[in-house]
Amino acid sequence: MDWLSKVKLQGAVQKWVDHPISVTINLPDDVNEALVGKLYLEAWEAGCKGVTVYSDGSRSGVLIANETKEETKETSVPFSTKRTI
């Protein structure tokens, strides 16, 4: 789904939801300011209550593409997880 359609969809859903919806838009690093401005304006017009825009590489650890995550080791729990009756 393209970014503009995502914003329009979430704005349409906002009419029927009591709590505020914030839309997060993940963009490539070469995005231009005109598109970001258009997305913010569309979100406002569509009725979204908040908008977050991330571009690839804008923050460390955010939108890192095509990397496999290492499996985490199972941690011990300091209390029993087994239910007793």
Per-residue pLDDT tens over the stretch 16-37:
888 887 788 888 888 899 988 9
63 or 45, which is more confident:
45
73 falls within a domain: no
Nearest to 2 by CA among 35, 47, 49, 41: 35
* Spatial separation of the C-alpha atoms in residues 82 and 15, rounded to whole Å: 44
61 falls within a domain: no
Token couple for 61: 């650890």
Q: Is 6 exposed, middle or buried (0-12, 13-18, 19+ CB in 10 A)?
A: middle
39 falls within a domain: yes
Q: Does residue 55 carry a pLDDT above 70? A: yes
21 falls within a domain: yes
Q: Does residue 9 carry a pLDDT above 80? A: yes
24 falls within a domain: yes
Count of domains in the chain? 1
> Is this prediction's pTM over 0.75?
no
User: For residue 26, what are the domain limits?
Assistant: 3-55
